[in-house]
Chain A
Amino acid sequence: MIAAIQRPPVDWFAISPSLVLLGVAGLCLMIAVLVPRAARRATAAVATAGGFAGALVAAILLYDRTPVGTGVIADSVRRDRYFALAAIILAAIGLVAVLVSYTEHRHGHVAEYYALLAAAAGGMMFLAQANSLLTLFLGLEWFSISLYILCAVDYGRERSLEAGLKYLVVGGFGSAVLLFGSALVYGATGRLTFDGIAQAATAGALQHDALLLTGLAMIIVGLGFKASAAPFHMWTPDVYEGAPTSVTAFMSAATKVAALLLTFRILVTAFPQEHDLWTVAIAVIAVCSLVLGNFAALVQKNLKRLLAYSSISNAGFMLIAVSANSALGGRALLYYLIPYGAASIGAFAVVAARERELARDVSIDDLAGMGWERPLLGAAMWTFMLSFAGLPPTGGFLGKFYVFSAAYDHGWLWLVIVGVLATAVSLYYYLNVIRALYLRPSAELQFAAGGQPPREWLLQAGTVACVAVVVGSFFAAQPLIDLAQKAIGTL
């Protein structure tokens, strides 16, 4: 007689956002074979949008009904407002991603595309609530594998294939490092859950234990790969450039949210006793990202590559918030992610629109005169660049202000200075984009767009929503900060 395996009670509600998206992913795979080709795109898109809306509702309900954070399902995942807020952001990003993707030209595998999109978002949400090294790795691989395929989904294009392969190899390496690190941490503490690790480390007087520290360092490196922080960023520009733009849009915004929020969670809950070391390590990674991202972005011609380096530098800013190791830092991180996510997906959406119009890769020169010809998209891109550059009236400004405040509050004035200098450098290339949009005549374009541009109502609606978030988060900062504050309180 085999003893029955003890099954822990399952709080289905706590994992409902991921489950909804997983269900929709399955549904989309069915659509891929059951629905006739003509209706496939619309059906799959509507189903996915419905899935993201459902996940959004579930996440909002979770936020509302979880005043106190608890570990559920044998402590392997957390049910808290921190995760719920992450899921809200991710679901909103997913919704916009569907809008951006809909009119993208693709010969086959339309439904599978949406299935992977939903699956990736579900994995990210699961990662954001991971509370043990096992669920952490599960969530990480879940969304990473979905993204590897998404990057290569246009397998007729060599660049897309290259992007997928590169991401797979480098991402796989990152995952392996993270897994190795997890094993070392487990070896040192004998525990898998985050709070268990902290308890065991304190009880066993494992502070500055070599095994534990090596494990911690490898976990940070692994997460650094996912967050595309320098010096673990090498894949980012190539993958962002090669992947289909709608995928890049989703990936740049959502991966950062999931990876950085998890980084903050694991460092604060599992390794509080090592804070004197990891705060410095994260600060160093942040400085590397700021320096490298900004200086490399200065020389980019291709717009997607430029935005890729910009995302590296933004990862640097957010890591400053993580390195502050405080509630203020957590609030800064959560707040920063909201306008950043919106500006990031919005900016790639504009790039996608321009790509479809010109039918080629978009360089900065290709934006010449766009602000006047496409006033809506131009103004939106302008807003996103201002937000990235940290200029009012955008949420990016308050986000940077918050991040700097957190660093100063931690006593690291030097980090504030580095951040300010990095901002000064970044202005050059962000303003370069605005310059192309408005100050250069479209006559500069070698191949001007012919005829009517494609009508992109859905994409434009998504872009407008992003603008609303970017500008709205500036004026209505306090409600968002209250949300973030409550979220951090349940960590």
Chain B
Amino acid sequence: MISPRICLGLNGWIRHLPLKSRSNRRLALISIFMAQVPVLLSLSLPSLLLSNSLGVNPAVYFSGLPVLGLSSALFVLPIRNSVFIKPFVLGACILSASGNWLMLIAGAFLFLICDLVSGPLVTGKKRQQYGKVPKGLWLSFFMAWRALKWRIGFPYIFSFFILGLTQVFIQNNDHSPVLSGKIYLFGVACSAVVICAFLAHVLAVRRPPWPWSRSLPWSSRRRVLLDAGCLAMSTTPLLLMAFVFEKKTIFPLLLSLPALCFLSSWTMGRVFYLRTGAYGTILIYGVIGALLLCLYPLISLVYLILAPILLRQAVEQERLLKVSQWQERHHLAAGDSLSWSQK
């Protein structure tokens, strides 16, 4: 996650300065390493515990952490010889964390050799060819999916995992059919919340508001509805699965879905101001909502009544966006109009 943003800054104006490409690469390497320092520091505690339990000198593990950090930084760096280098760099990572002085020295040596032969940073833009899409407003959906790319897979894996756990819980415990249905409803609702939270956050970050498009003749309501529609469509596989396994769950879910999608759209508009990104708000409200839904399925009617209010809030939030203001926070590109050029 860190590497593309750091390397993006090294591709432009800085390249005209009198600096060797090797130095340029090493600067990027050190930048990534520095960004990893908190992670490495947090690894020192498990290292200490591990060294105590294995009876190894903790200094071996502590000395290995910088080598591990540098090697992993080199692993993610877009360098010319990355294909040949990566297996060796990975080897250096493993050796540096092995807890043996000899292995650590070998790891450090391997890293140094890899650094010498890794070549300059790879620059230039990847050619992006998109396939044909249906005309008109469908483009909005495709733009969202293009922004998400392979990231769209993660929430499904996680939500199906939740669904699987729910199924296992039901199978391994004796419950009345009514209670099983409620537990299943909770599982599916939580899965839908996870999908919406993840997709809303990634969309807000990777597809920030497009300032120019706001001058086109479409309303804020339409833009919010398109986003909410995209999120709702993304939950379709989950709803189909819920329908196949427990038909009764589908109605409360369908009635609650608009409120969840509008809540997500509203949160997308506030993402700059939220320290937890869009995840926190959607997950907290969503899981509480799912719990209430499983206890009182009729509350789905209340959610349906709440949906227009949430839509109005989301529309107002969309209008209030200061799209041309630099609002970079938590490494979000959202709000930065120049971030359109981000890889």
* Chain A bound to chain B: no
Interface residues of B (CB under 8 A from A): none
Interface residues of A (CB under 8 A from B): none
